[in-house]
Amino acid sequence: MSIQGLGQIVKRCCCRTGRRAVWMAPNLRGVCNARPQETKTTFNMARLVLKFGGTSVADLDRIRNVARHVKREVDAGHEVAVVVSAMAGQTNKLVDLCKQASPLHDAREYDAVVASGEQVTSGLLAMVLQQMGVNARSWQGWQVPIKTNGTHGAARIKEIEADFLVERISQGQVAVLAGFQGISPENRISTLGRGGSDTSAVAIAAAVKADRCDIYTDVDGVYTTDPRIVPKARRLERIAFEEMLEMASLGAKVLQVRSVEMAMVHGVRTFVRSSFDDPDAPQIGEGNLPPGTLICDEDELVEQQVVTGIAFAKDEAQISLRDVADKPGVAQSVFGPLADSSINVDMIVQNISPDGKTTDITFTVPETDYDRAIAVLEDNRDAIGFQNLEGAKDVVKVSVIGIGMRSHAGVAAQCFRGLAEKGINIRAITTSEIKISVLIDSAYTELAVRTLHSLYGLDG
Amino acid sequence: MSIQGLGQIVKRCCCRTGRRAVWMAPNLRGVCNARPQETKTTFNMARLVLKFGGTSVADLDRIRNVARHVKREVDAGHEVAVVVSAMAGQTNKLVDLCKQASPLHDAREYDAVVASGEQVTSGLLAMVLQQMGVNARSWQGWQVPIKTNGTHGAARIKEIEADFLVERISQGQVAVLAGFQGISPENRISTLGRGGSDTSAVAIAAAVKADRCDIYTDVDGVYTTDPRIVPKARRLERIAFEEMLEMASLGAKVLQVRSVEMAMVHGVRTFVRSSFDDPDAPQIGEGNLPPGTLICDEDELVEQQVVTGIAFAKDEAQISLRDVADKPGVAQSVFGPLADSSINVDMIVQNISPDGKTTDITFTVPETDYDRAIAVLEDNRDAIGFQNLEGAKDVVKVSVIGIGMRSHAGVAAQCFRGLAEKGINIRAITTSEIKISVLIDSAYTELAVRTLHSLYGLDG
């Protein structure tokens, strides 16, 4: 942890609460060259939001374990809000009931049914905390209130009136919040969609101006790539918001994409850690946190590597339209009907026309939408005016991600050379400031990911 | 059904909505001597509250059955609100989780956890109704709102703001309400205690000025006594509120006592019927209702019998204090400490003192509180000043109930004579305007109940 980072926290705490506690930093590390040593300094307690997912609260033993994590932070003098998911399996059970009740069920009623899972967990955790002597109280989305738009089943948080929550937690009462839910403009329970509890946690952290949002999950952080494919994958100590956004949306399923977007927009420092850590291990101050990954502003990154990680997404399908007339409005004629059918298009590649008359357009869609996309395009064949339609489901998008590549040349060339040396054919390429994505045959997934992981010096 | 009763309904309906539907009364009966005949008359649709308990909504097949009952009433042109309990077993499961979480759990958190059961059922029933083409919407206690006091776990309804509900149901939308719950003054979910959904239903019926509250349950009405003990027990077509209150509080567990109190205070005509009736059988108008019992004002009773039913309560225990000083304040010295320990005292018998110095006091407490009551009394032995403390758990309170006994002499004497002829010893007697209760050894329960049932001409 850098002194700079710590200073920032202390400053933020001071201006908000003025409460003080003696802080011991036994293991102070960082880029500032401060030597690791026992340092006694004044420490202002932090305001933390802790989020626990479904597997972390799967039964009462695990809920007790969660409560010990919470108690540790309370005992350390922090102000704590907790966000919980439904007990593992419970949401699926409720979703099944809805499907049985009516295949095309009303999303408003679905939300009322499904949100009950988080309601149960929040109450149980508050009880367990109370029994451990921790002052705690549960709150549902409508009580806070966490105001969302009216898109039931996939609502977006519009506003959180947090004064009330801040008052409670600054009085030392742990707020146990039901994740995944809010209240719609029509005074109905709304849910944020699967995995929405991450978003709840980050949004609440932003609203109460928390110093950190700790996401307890079943992995101990964000890795340079999927360790199941690359055993040499390393856990990242820190990752910038922008990088995490690319990692999350490209298949590293540690955090929901929307929660990372929200963390980035509001600058919520988000720490991903394992809920299976010993909850009673002392963790006084950020210098002594257990293994995990801090998602933060790039200013806080300890060492900037050119490439941070390799992500891949297997659930993509490729569609290519051959010999499309190269005239204004043709892209609209292709992607307009797809958008009207709610098909999400990801990579889009259109090269300049070799003859000035026709061109090829290649793009990817979610594999589950592939058949529907083909049908939509065939229906619009005359309007679009393509000669051939080709497609492939057995493709994978592999991405090289790193905020450092903004200031380093040759990163892309290195990627293409590396893949070529292994005989991997690239179907399409797209790039952004901080990533290079290539579409390849899915049979080469492991080979490509391992090759790139080594190539950019990520092997642990 | 009496013409008088019908006239009342028609009048009430007219002044409220003015909507009309043609009503066929194929089976018009009553004290007015109108002959049964096919009568065509104008019928104003009624406003109904239907309540379904846990066994009636135990799974999705049963919820579909409930929906058919609701649809029948909607199709008949009625305005309908439905109150549902949690799916059978669900509340017990949630209560168990709370007990596991913390033996002495916070009632506020208990309420948040346990109320989720009704939330799920209300959403599912709304979905199923929608799928059947019935316009329906679920509402939780906090949405209506059903305002209660702050006694979490056993809250009392203080006020229901029903304008919103009335607006919806008068527009033809079925309101599916989560029973058993409301919202406390602190904006928290409160529950009404076990069986509270009956109370929810009656309270909502009172608030929306319903013409009738139909309680669908697993029995087809209220019987003259428990049919498991007296096979000759008859279903009562009608029973007065006051009688039902005595029946309910004395062990005929068809309806929760508080719901009957509320029905009586607000004059809510309450019809107890079986949820296992064929939901698709036509039931046009009150003259054609299936088997059931209407709990109503005594003015609506078809024929006033002297005795309506025989109730009994086995879960009582008797305590007698011998040779208590007969001086002012002695009753307070006995019952004050019991009240402070939240022990509910039922029958109290104190006779005049034979010698002007000491007397005996006998009373009953719930069997579950017996040991605690004995301990409280022993602790206060000096303050009370009794010589001996005697008690018995194997006792039963048998009650003869009937609004007609107000105007009939000799009902009590008949009871005592009947029991004496069978050699049944009476431990204590209490009476009210409409009931006579005797405390006897529980071994004589069946004999006493059968004897009294025959004695008052109740055998079917």
Q: How far is CA B332 from the centre of its chain?
A: 31
pLDDT of B251 higher than 90: no
Flag whether pLDDT at B33 surpasses 60.
no
Residue A25 pLDDT: 26
Residue B451 has pLDDT above 80, yes or no: yes
Say which of A94, A102, A143 has its CB closest to residue B131: A102
Residues β-bridged to residue A395:
A316, A441
Burial class, A211, CB count within 10 angstroms (exposed 0-12 / middle 13-18 / buried 19+):
buried
How far apart are alpha carbons A283 and A43 in whole angstroms?
A: 13
Q: Do B112 and A106 touch (CB under 8 A)?
A: no
What is the predicted pLDDT for the residue at B14?
A: 31
How far is it, in rounded angstroms, from Cα A85 to Cα A195?
9
H or E element that contains B200: helix B196-207
How far A59 CA lies from chain B's nearest CA (Å)? 9
The complex scores an ipTM of 0.80
pLDDT of residue A21: 29
Tell me, what's the pLDDT at A250? 65
> What backbone torsions phi and psi does residue A367 show, to the nearest 5 degrees?
-55, -35
- Report pLDDT for A379: 94
Predicted confidence (pLDDT) per residue in A207-259, tens digit: 999 999 999 998 889 999 998 899 999 999 999 999 999 887 666 578 888 89
The b-or-e profile of A50-76 (16+ CB within 10 A means b, else e) is bbbbbbbbbebebbbbbbebbbbbbeb
* Average pLDDT value for residue range B251-262: 82
Of the residues A113, A131, A139, A184, the best mutation for testing chain B's interface (the one with the most B CB atoms within 10 Å of its CB) is: A113
Residues facing residue A311 across a β-bridge: A399
Answer yes or no: do B131 and A101 touch at CB < 8 A: yes
- DSSP secondary-structure letter at A405? G
> Residue A127 is nearest to which of B102, B123, B126, comparing CB atoms?
B102
- Of A131, A280, A66, A58, nearest to B101 by C-alpha is A131
CA distance B100 to chain A (A): 7
Over range B407-412, report the average pLDDT.
88
Tell me the sheet residues that pair with A182.
A190
pLDDT of residue B351: 79
For residue A455, give the 3-state DSSP assignment.
Answer: helix
A263 and A271 in contact (C-beta within 8 Å)?
A: no
Q: What is chain B's alpha carbon radius of gyration, rounded to the nearest angstrom?
A: 24
If you average pLDDT over each of A281-285, A423-427, B15-19, B251-255, which comes out highest?
Answer: A423-427
Cβ–Cβ of B123/A112 closer than 8 Å? yes
Chain A residues at the B interface, defined by Cβ less than 8 Å, are 60, 63, 94, 97-98, 100-102, 104-106, 108-113, 115-117, 119-120, 122-124, 126-128, 130-131, 137-138, 140, 142-143, 187-189
Q: Maximum Cα–Cα distance for chain B, whole Å? A: 77
Strands (E) in A123-231, as ranges, are 136-139, 146-148, 157-160, 174-178, 181-183, 189-191, 212-217
Out of B60, B104, B187, whose CB is closest to A97?
A: B60
**pLDDT (tens digit per residue) in A181-191:** 999 999 999 99
Distance CA B424, CA B312 (A): 15
The verdict on a CB contact (< 8 Å) between A109 and B126 is yes
Nearest Cα of chain B lies from the Cα of A137 at a distance, in angstroms, of: 8
**SS3 call for B101:** helix
In sequence order, the 6+-apart residues with CB closer than 8 A to the CB of A85 are A52, A53, A54, A56, A57, A91, A117, A118, A121, A179, A180, A197
Picking from A124, A130, A174 by the largest number of B CB atoms within 10 A of its own CB, the best residue to mutate is A124
Q: Is the pLDDT of residue B253 over 80?
A: no
| Cross-chain Cβ contact B109/A120 below 8 Å | no
| pLDDT higher than 90, residue B256 | no
Mutate one of B116, B122, B125 to test the A interface: name it (highest A CB count within 10 A): B116
Confidence of residue B378 (pLDDT cuts 50, 70, 90): very high
Burial A171-182 (b: 16+ CB within 10 A, else e): eebbbbbbbbbb
- CA distance, residue B196 to nearest chain A CA (Å): 19
Which pLDDT does position A159 carry in this prediction? 95
Model pLDDT, residue A35: 31
Q: Is the pLDDT of residue B159 over 80?
A: yes
B106 and A122 within 8 Å at the Cβ level: the answer is no
Instruction: Please tell me the predicted confidence (pLDDT) of residue B252.
Output: 59
Alpha helices in A256-304 (DSSP H): 257-266
pLDDT tens string B289-314: 889 999 999 999 877 789 999 999 98
What is the spatial distance between Cα B364 and Cα B316, in angstroms, rounded to a whole number?
6
Q: Give the count of beta carbons closer than 10 Å to the beta carbon of residue A425.
A: 11
pLDDT at position B43 is 53
Query: What residues in chain B have their Cβ under 8 A from chain A's Cβ atoms?
Result: 60, 63, 94, 97-98, 100-102, 104-106, 108-113, 115-117, 119-120, 122-124, 126-128, 130-131, 137-138, 140, 142-143, 187-189
Q: How many CB pairs under 8 A join A and B?
A: 113
In which residue ranges of chain A is pLDDT below 70? 1-44, 249-252, 284-285
Q: Which of A120, A122, A130 sits opposite B94 (nearest CB)?
A: A120
DSSP symbols for B342-396: TPPP--EEEPPPSSSSEEEEEEEEEGGGHHHHHHHHHHTHHHHT-SEEEEEEEEE
Inter-chain residue contact A60 with B140, CB threshold 8 Å: no
Taking only the tens place, the pLDDT of each residue in B167-191 is: 999 999 999 999 999 999 999 999 9
Mean pLDDT of chain B: 87
Report pTM: 0.82
Please answer yes or no on whether A124 and B104 come within 8 Å at the CB atom. no
**Cβ–Cβ contacts within 10 Å for residue B282, how many?**
12
User: Cα separation of B339 and B204, whole Å?
Assistant: 32
Residue A308 contacts residue A401 (beta carbons within 8 Å) = yes
For residues A330 and B34, what is the distance between their CA atoms, to the nearest angstrom?
81
Report yes or no: B320 and B391 within 8 Å, Cβ to Cβ: yes
pLDDT band, very low/low/confident/very high, at B250 (cuts 50, 70, 90): low
Q: Which two tokens stand for residue B345?
A: 């005292």
Three-state DSSP at B195 gives coil
**Per-residue model confidence (pLDDT) at position B331:** 87
Give CA separation, B347 vs A149, B83, B313, in Å. 58, 35, 12
Q: What is the DSSP letter of B341?
A: T
Neighbour count for residue A332 (Cβ, 10 Å): 11
Q: What is residue A325's three-state secondary structure?
A: strand
